[in-house]
C-alpha cells in the first residue's frame, strides 16, 4: 500500500490500551505500512471500564520485534493539558506527525434519568474537548502553504445512544468537530474523516449480543477490529487521499433496511 510522498510517516494513535482492541488492530496495520507509531493509553480507564489492565506494553514489544518504531505515551485526556503534551512528545521523539487517529473514548452506560453531571462532563472532556485539542495541536505542527506535507485526521464514532446517553451525545459532537477540519485545515493540507465501524466485539459482547448483532447484518457476521484497521489504512494511503469530510459507515450493512 503506497502513501502520499509528502505525508510524514509517523502516526499518533489514541485509545490503544488493549491488544485485542480496535486501536491495537490499527496500530498493527499502520506498522505494517511503515509508520512509526506513538500510542496513547490510560491504564486507569481500562481497569475502571474494561475490568482489566492495559497491555499496550506487550503490543509495543510485538510491533518492535517486527521492526516498527513505537513510542508509548500515557495521560488522562480529561486533563486539558494532556492532548498538546502527547502531540509535543510524539513530535519531539519521532518527528513531524502525518496522521492523527483518535480511537480513545469515555464510555460508561447510563440513561437520561440516571446520568450524573460528573459523568456527562467527563464524557465531553474526553470525547469532545480532548479531540478538539488533539486536532489543534496536530494542525499547529503542520505548516500551512502550497508546499506543506499535509496530514490526515481520523476519528472513530458510533450511533449508539439509547441507555448510553453521554457516550452517544459526545460521539455526535465529535463527528461535527472532525468534519469542520476538512475546510478549516485545508490550507495545511490536512484531510479529515470519521469512521463508524458499527458493533465490534473487543471483549465486551456476550454470546447473546454477538448473535443478535450478527443477525442484523446481511452477511450474518460481525466485523472485527481488523475490518476497522483496513479502512483506516486505506484512508491514510495515497489511494484514499481524495476522501475528505465524510462519516464513513464500515459496518457490513448492520441494521441497514432491506429495500
* pLDDT, tens only, 15-39: 998 888 899 999 999 999 999 999 9
| Residue 208 domain flag | yes
| Residue 95 domain flag | yes
* pLDDT, tens only, 235-254: 999 999 999 999 998 876 67
**Cα gap 172→47, rounded to integer Å:** 26
Q: Which domain CATH number covers 169?
A: 3.40.50.720
**Cα gap 212→164, rounded to integer Å:** 18
* pLDDT, tens only, 37-79: 999 999 998 889 888 889 999 999 999 999 999 999 999 999 9
Least confident of 115-124, 190-199, 212-221, 230-239: 212-221
The total domain count for the chain is 1
Q: Residue 3's pLDDT is what?
A: 37
Overall average pLDDT of the 124-135 stretch? 98
- 220 band by pLDDT with thresholds 50, 70 and 90: low
* pLDDT, tens only, 144-185: 998 899 999 999 999 888 898 999 999 999 999 999 999 999
Q: Are strands 70-74 and 36-41 parallel, antiparallel or unpaired?
A: parallel
**Cα gap 82→101, rounded to integer Å:** 16
| Residue 136 domain flag | yes
Average pLDDT of the residues of the chain: 90
| Residue 187 domain flag | yes
**Cα gap 57→122, rounded to integer Å:** 26
| Residue 217 domain flag | yes
Overall average pLDDT of the 128-135 stretch? 98
Task: Flag whether pLDDT at 259 surpasses 50.
Answer: no
| Residue 5 domain flag | no
The residue range of the domain holding 16 is: 10-249
| Residue 259 domain flag | no
Task: Flag whether pLDDT at 217 surpasses 80.
Answer: no
| Residue 257 domain flag | no
Overall average pLDDT of the 116-130 stretch? 97
Task: Flag whether pLDDT at 199 surpasses 80.
Answer: no
User: From residue 235, how far is each of 105, 183, 192, 243 by CA, in Å?
Assistant: 21, 17, 9, 7
Q: Residue 256's pLDDT is what?
A: 56
**Cα gap 259→249, rounded to integer Å:** 18
Amino acid at each position: 500500500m503506497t502513501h502520499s510522498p509528502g505525508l510524514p510517516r509517523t502516526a499518533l494513535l489514541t485509545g490503544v490500551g488493549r491488544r485485542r482492541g480496535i486501536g491495537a488492530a490499527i496500530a498493527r496495520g499502520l506498522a505494517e505500512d511503515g509508520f512509526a507509531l506513538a500510542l496513547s493509553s490510560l491504564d486507569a480507564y481500562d481497569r475502571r471500564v474494561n475490568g482489566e489492565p492495559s497491555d499496550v506494553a506487550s503490543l509495543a514489544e510485538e510491533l518492535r520485534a517486527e521492526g516498527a518504531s513505537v513510542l508509548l505515551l500515557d495521560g488522562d485526556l480529561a486533563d486539558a493539558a494532556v492532548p498538546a503534551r502527547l502531540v509535543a512528545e510524539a513530535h519531539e521523539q519521532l518527528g513531524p506527525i502525518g496522521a492523527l487517529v483518535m480511537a480513545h473514548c469515555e464510555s460508561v452506560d447510563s440513561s437520561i434519568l440516571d446520568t450524573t453531571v460528573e459523568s456527562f462532563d467527563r464524557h465531553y472532556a474526553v470525547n469532545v474537548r480532548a479531540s478538539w485539542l488533539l486536532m489543534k495541536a496536530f494542525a499547529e505542527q503542520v505548516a500551512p502553504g502550497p508546499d506543506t506535507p499535509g496530514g490526515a485526521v481520523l476519528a472513530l464514532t458510533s450511533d449508539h445512544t439509547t441507555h448510553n446517553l453521554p457516550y452517544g451525545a459526545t460521539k455526535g459532537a465529535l463527528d461535527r468537530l472532525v468534519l469542520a477540519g476538512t475546510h478549516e485545515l485545508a490550507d495545511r493540507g490536512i484531510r479529515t474523516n470519521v469512521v463508524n465501524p458499527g458493533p465490534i466485539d473487543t471483549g465486551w459482547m456476550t454470546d447473546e449480543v454477538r448473535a443478535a448483532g450478527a443477525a442484523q447484518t446481511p452477511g450474518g457476521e460481525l466485523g472485527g477490529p481488523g475490518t476497522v484497521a483496513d479502512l483506516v489504512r486505506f484512508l491514510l494511503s495515497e489511494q484514499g487521499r481524495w476522501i475528505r469530510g465524510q462519516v464513513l459507515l464500515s459496518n457490513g450493512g448492520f441494521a441497514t433496511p432491506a429495500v
